[in-house]
């Protein structure tokens, strides 16, 4: 990487925003302390959530018919978040990690969509959000494998933005004196730039213009986040702009969860909770799988920024991030409790993969469309 300016321009580096955040960080106006919610945080009651495990037969049937009808009418699109590197798998693109029988995460995600296409005789558009770290390898993977049997015209790539990192003193990280990987100098500023990058490519307008109404959003390494007619049907019938899947916590689980903030139910990341708030009182967590009504993605929202500490090559750094979950602050958001064992199967380490490989093969080697 010899031309940093060209590289930054390609991935839409917002220099004005970065300089503002950096200067505020250096002056002490913006720090990790500002990540913590200052308002009233409360545990939500269970009746704030729809629970797939307790839906009666009539509601299941109603939602399944509604969701199936929307798919059949060409109303669904899929976003796969593929911006991460699998550092624990040798530093390759996470979506290119083999899961079983030579099949990668990305191939299995595409096969899930193909199964729905076949079932409903449709062509669901797939939007793959890459980052500066994953774009080249991902595009090459698709070309090498003939887009895994999908039409090239039906798979759309777009990129997260790019930001510089800082040293803890506020100076820019690795500015020429460090001999490591130059890509370490940069980061994708959190998955919260999804809505901005997606709009920036004009995808929502074109999707809506072609009859699209709903976007299913999930991470590439969660193979449990399949298209489910009942969940889609609930989203539609509820009138929500955003539907977030949550699952029951197990002992030791940490991370984002739905919480009442000043009377509004929204997704709150673990580092945002006040230290005096007992997060264990919330018995569900955010799986990072959502459905969005496409029209809602055209809204102008201003997501908050967070200063986050990271470790890069043994060095402590600061990077600025935005989070997709914060869209729940601005959109009419509903929450649905799903079966953790079926719909939340993230693979973060080689050990996770070894433990899950046989069950994943059994679950997805046939027709990879599931209903809860």
303-344 pLDDT per residue, tens: 999 999 998 878 899 999 999 999 999 999 999 999 999 999
pLDDT category at 179 given cuts 50, 70, 90 is very low
In a domain, 67, yes or no: yes
**What is the domain-level CATH number for residue 183?**
3.90.550.10
Closest residue by Cα to residue 122 from 238, 243, 199, 227: 227
In a domain, 371, yes or no: no
Expressed in percent and rounded to 5, the helix, strand and coil fractions of the chain are 40, 25, 35
Question: What are the angstrom distances between the C-alpha of 251 and each of 272, 277, 288?
Answer: 20, 17, 19
Q: Which residue segment(s) compose the domain that 334 sits in?
A: 4-364
Q: Please, what is the average pLDDT of the chain?
A: 92
352-372 pLDDT per residue, tens: 899 999 989 988 876 545 443
What pLDDT is recorded for position 175? Answer: 54
End-to-end CA distance of the chain: 46
In a domain, 372, yes or no: no
Both structure tokens of 291 = 């459905």
**Total of domains in the chain:** 1
In a domain, 185, yes or no: yes
Both structure tokens of 111 = 């096969």
User: How many percent of the chain have pLDDT more than 70?
Assistant: 95
38-97 pLDDT per residue, tens: 999 999 999 999 999 899 999 999 999 999 999 999 999 999 999 987 777 877 889 999
In a domain, 370, yes or no: no
In a domain, 316, yes or no: yes
What pLDDT is recorded for position 7? Answer: 87
pTM summary value: 0.94
């Amino acid at each position: 990487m010899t031309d940093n300016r060209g590289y930054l321009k390609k991935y839409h580096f917002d220099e004005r925003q970065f300089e503002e955040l950096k200067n505020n960080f250096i002056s002490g106006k913006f720090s990790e302390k500002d990540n913590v919610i200052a308002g009233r945080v409360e545990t939500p009651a269970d009746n704030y959530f729809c629970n797939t495990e307790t839906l009666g037969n009539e509601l299941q049937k109603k939602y399944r018919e509604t969701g199936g009808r929307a798919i059949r009418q060409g109303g669904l699109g899929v976003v796969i978040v593929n911006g991460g590197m699998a550092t624990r798998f040798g530093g390759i693109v996470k979506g290119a990690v083999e899961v079983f029988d030579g099949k990668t995460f990305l191939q299995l995600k595409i096969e899930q969509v193909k199964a729905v296409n076949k079932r409903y005789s449709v062509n669901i558009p797939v939007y793959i959000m890459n980052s500066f770290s994953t774009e080249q390898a991902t595009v090459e993977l698709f070309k090498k494998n003939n887009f895994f049997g999908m039409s090239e015209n039906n798979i759309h790539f777009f990129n997260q933005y790019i930001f510089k990192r800082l040293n803890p003193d506020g100076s820019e990280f690795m500015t020429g004196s460090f001999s490591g990987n130059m890509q370490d100098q940069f980061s994708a500023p959190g998955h919260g730039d999804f809505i901005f990058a997606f709009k920036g490519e004009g995808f929502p307008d074109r999707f809506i213009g072609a009859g699209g109404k709903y976007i299913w959003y999930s991470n590439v390494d969660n193979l449990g986040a399949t298209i489910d007619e009942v969940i889609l049907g609930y989203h539609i019938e509820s009138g929500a702009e955003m539907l977030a899947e949550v699952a029951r916590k197990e002992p030791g689980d940490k991370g984002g969860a739905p919480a009442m903030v000043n009377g509004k139910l929204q997704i709150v990341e673990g580092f945002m909770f006040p230290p005096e708030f007992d997060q264990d009182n919330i018995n569900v967590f955010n799986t990072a799988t959502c459905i969005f009504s496409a029209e809602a993605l055209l809204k102008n929202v201003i997501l908050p920024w967070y200063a986050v500490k990271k470790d890069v090559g043994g060095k402590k750094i600061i990077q600025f991030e935005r989070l997709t979950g914060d869209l729940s602050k601005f959109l009419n958001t509903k929450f649905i409790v799903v079966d953790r064992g079926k719909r939340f199967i993230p693979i973060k380490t080689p050990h996770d993969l070894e433990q899950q490989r046989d069950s994943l093969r059994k679950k997805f080697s046939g027709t990879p469309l599931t209903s809860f």
